[in-house]
Amino acid sequence: MKKIYFILSLIFSGNALASAEISIGTLYDYMSGQQSTYLKRIRNQGDATAFVKVAIHEITYDAAGQPQESAELTEGRRALIASPSRMIIPANGVQATRLLFMGERDKERYFRVRFIPVLPKQEQLIKTDTMTTVVNKGNATIVLDFFEECDGRKKNCSTPSKIHLLPNMQKQLMKKSDHLYRFELIEGDKSRSMVIGH
C-alpha cells in the first residue's frame, strides 16, 4: 500500500485575526500505507480566539514532472477529508483536525492542506415568522448566559439560566406577542448582548 503525502501550509489573510498566532508545526507530513487517518494539531499562540478553515487540494504531476494543483476538493469528489473542516481555537489553545483518506492506494498521492484564518460569521441566528433559532455551526460549545424570558415591558422575567449549545446543536425561541428573550451570547472569548422579540 502506498503512502499518502500532505504538504501543509498556513495562509495569512490580512489582519482578519491580527492577535491570533497560528502554528501548524511541520510543513510536510505523510500517512503510511497502513493508516487511513492522521491527526493534525493546530496551535494558537496568540491572545485571541482563531477561526480556521481547512482546504484540501490534490497535487498531480504531468509528464514533465511539473506539479498541477486541483481545485478545492468538495463533497462527492474527495479522497481526503478533514474533520472538522472548520476550527475554533481558543487563545493559547490547541485544536485538532483528523485527516481521513478514503481513496484508492494504487499509487502515492499528494495533497496540499491549507489552514486559512477566516472571520467568524457575524450571526448564528436563523429567523422565520414563527421562531428564531440559535445554531452552533462551529466545533466548540457556545453559551447563552443569563438567559431570560420576559414580557414585552421586561418587568416579569424568568430566573436567569445558562444554556450550553454543543457543536451542531440549536436552541429554538418561539415568537410570541409581547414576549422577548435576552441573553449574553458567548463564543470563545467574545460576548454579545442579545434581545430577541418585542
Side-chain-facing half-sphere of 107: CA atoms under 13 Å? 5
How many contiguous H segments (helices) and E segments (strands) does the chain have?
A: 0, 17
Q: What is the pLDDT, as a whole number, of residue 123?
A: 54
Q: Are residues 34 and 89 in the same domain?
A: yes
Domain end point (choices 117, 151, 175): 117
Q: Which position has the grid cell 491580527?
A: 18
Give the phi and the psi of residue 112 in degrees, each rounded to 5: -100, 125
Domain boundary among 117, 138, 156: 117
Together in a domain, 110 and 129: no
Same domain, 111 and 132: no
- Cβ atoms within 10 Å, residue 155: 7
Taking the C-alpha atoms of residue 178 and residue 155, their distance in angstroms, rounded to an integer, is: 12
Look-up: residue for cell 441573553? Answer: 183
pLDDT band at 12 (very low <50, low <70, confident <90, very high): very low
Read off the pLDDT of each residue in 29-46 and give the average, rounded to a whole number.
85
Domain end marker among 66, 91, 117: 117
How many structural domains is the chain composed of?
A: 2
Q: Of 27 and 10, which is predicted with more confidence?
A: 27
pTM recorded for the entire structure: 0.56
Same domain, 142 and 113: no
Residues 97 and 133 both lie in one domain? no
Q: For 15, which DSSP code? A: T
* One domain, residues 151 and 86: no
Mean pLDDT of 17-39: 78
**Has residue 13 got a pLDDT over 50?**
no
The domain spanning residue 23 has which CATH number? 2.60.40.10
Burial class (CB in 10 A: 0-12, 13-18, 19+), 21: middle
Segment 43-56 mean pLDDT = 82
Question: Percentage of residues in the chain with pLDDT exceeding 70?
Answer: 83
Dump pLDDT digits (tens) for 129-183.
Answer: 788 888 887 777 889 999 999 887 767 889 999 999 888 788 888 888 888 888 8
Does 129 share its domain with 109? no
Q: What type of residue sits at position 137?
A: K
**Are 33 and 111 members of one domain?**
yes
Residue type, 115: F
pLDDT of residue 163: 92
Range of the domain at 185: 125-197
pLDDT tens digits, residue range 111-141? 888 888 876 554 577 777 788 888 887 777 8
Based on the fold, state whether residues 94 and 188 are members of the same structural domain: no
pLDDT at position 194 over 60: yes
| Domain identity same for 102 and 151 | no
The residue among 67 and 198 whose pLDDT is bigger is: 67
What confidence tens digit (pLDDT) does each residue in 71-119 have?
A: 777 666 678 888 888 887 877 888 888 988 887 777 888 888 888 887 6
Greater pLDDT, 55 or 77: 55
